[in-house]
Amino acid sequence: MFKGKKKNKKKQRGDVIGEKIMRSSSDVSSNREERPLPITISSPRRYTRQTSGSRHIIPADQIEAISTLGVGEFGIVQQGVWTNDNGQKIQVAIKCLSKERMQTGIADFLKEATMMHTVDHDNIVRLYGVVLDSSSEAPLMLVTELAPMRSLLECLKDTSAHPNFPVTTLCEYATQIAKGMEYLETRRMIHRDLAARNILVFSKTKVKISDFGMSRALGLSRDYYQTNFNVNLKLPIAWCAPECINYLRFTTASDVWAFGVTLWEMFSYGLQPWGGFSGQQILEAIDEPNCRRLEQPDCCPKEFYGLMLKCWENDPGRRPTFLEIAAMLPQIQPTTMTAERDSSNTGKDFLVYSEGDVVTVLDRK
């Protein structure tokens, strides 16, 4: 189990804002309003809109479900084939809203569809369209790109697949995720559930951000989104910044915190962050006065762990933006070297390598 590391940081209490309450390991609320948290929204950049295929209402008879991929918050997720208007057959993922969830989940389901409809980036899963079929067991369906290689978390947990995901590949994935999140940041959107389970692997060199079920768009005059406590509210506590748990307040800065935890998942090859901790224990660990942080994974480059610690600043205003992270990542990529001969030392404290092996340097000291 990874134990937290206490961060040597001066406490900056300021005013006490709101009473901190932990309802349970997954349900939290706040009793008083907090002042808006400072956050920097980066200047919009130009992104090229893809033109292959339009997003629209897809007739139900164009969709053929083949197999079940899993069960999501709103219903089952299936693999299928979409035969579009041009007769082209496209492998797709079909997220279904079951009839049982029509009364309670349709608003959030449609919010996800609306959110996905407005985004277009190479590192964000693309929405092809929506299926409306009142005669079906799933009257409402979202049709999206299909990831051939499952979620990043599933890939990382599969030890037989580890040779396909060396540290250098994970570093490249980190850059792609940061670019996708930078795009959302420029469009004033917050994801709220960034984690390795919601990163889909499309190839050995390509990942995309998925699952916009919790995402929200910020209004022009607001830099945060605040929800209200309800009995159905579930938060991914291990990925949440303190202000999310204490005040149910979400910003792009809280997405940055989750990005840091996602990096930790990646370089620990799928370990559970704060494994063995309850929700209450996680909050007590990460919040003031303890400010404990996840320890550096064995396979994590030193500079990447330094970035994680910046993402986990207790003060949201001190965390880097995704614009800054995307610019920083190319500069901290680990060095790789090719061995010119076999290693001469084979003791337990020495790295054993053969001629031609590629070695990634995690720490230059």
Does position 34 have pLDDT exceeding 90, yes or no? Answer: no
- The whole-number pLDDT of residue 69 equals 87
What is the tens place of the pLDDT at every residue in 84-105?
Answer: 999 999 999 998 876 666 666 6
Tell me the catalytic residues.
193
Enumerate the known binding-site residues.
95
Stretch 249-275: mean pLDDT, rounded?
97
- The whole-number pLDDT of residue 219 equals 47
pLDDT band of residue 353 (cuts 50, 70, 90) is confident
Instruction: Tell me whether residue 269 is exposed, middle or buried, using C-beta atoms within 10 angstroms of its C-beta: 0 to 12, 13 to 18, 19 or more.
Output: buried
Stretch 315-331: mean pLDDT, rounded?
97
Stretch 278-304: mean pLDDT, rounded?
96
Does position 27 have pLDDT exceeding 50, yes or no? Answer: no
* pLDDT above 90 coverage of the chain, percent: 52
pTM to 2 decimals? 0.79
More confident residue, 226 or 240: 240
Domains and CATH numbers, the chain: 57-145 (3.30.200.20), 150-334 (1.10.510.10)
Cα–Cα separations (whole angstroms), residue 331 to 172, 326, 362: 12, 10, 14
Torsion of CA 273, 276, 279, 283, to 10 degrees: -70
pLDDT band of residue 323 (cuts 50, 70, 90) is very high
Angle ∠(282,244,256) on CA atoms, nearest 5: 90
57-66, 227-236, 299-308: least confident range:
227-236
- The whole-number pLDDT of residue 359 equals 85
pLDDT band of residue 30 (cuts 50, 70, 90) is very low
Strand 206-209 relative to strand 216-217: parallel, antiparallel, unpaired? unpaired
Strand extents, DSSP E, 9-52: 20-22, 28-30
69-73, 149-153, 256-260, 341-345: least confident range:
69-73
Structure tokens given for 272: 């559970």
More confident residue, 194 or 361: 194
Enumerate the known binding-site residues for ATP.
95
- The whole-number pLDDT of residue 346 equals 76
- The whole-number pLDDT of residue 2 equals 46
- Reported as type and span, the H/E element at residue 81 is strand 76-83
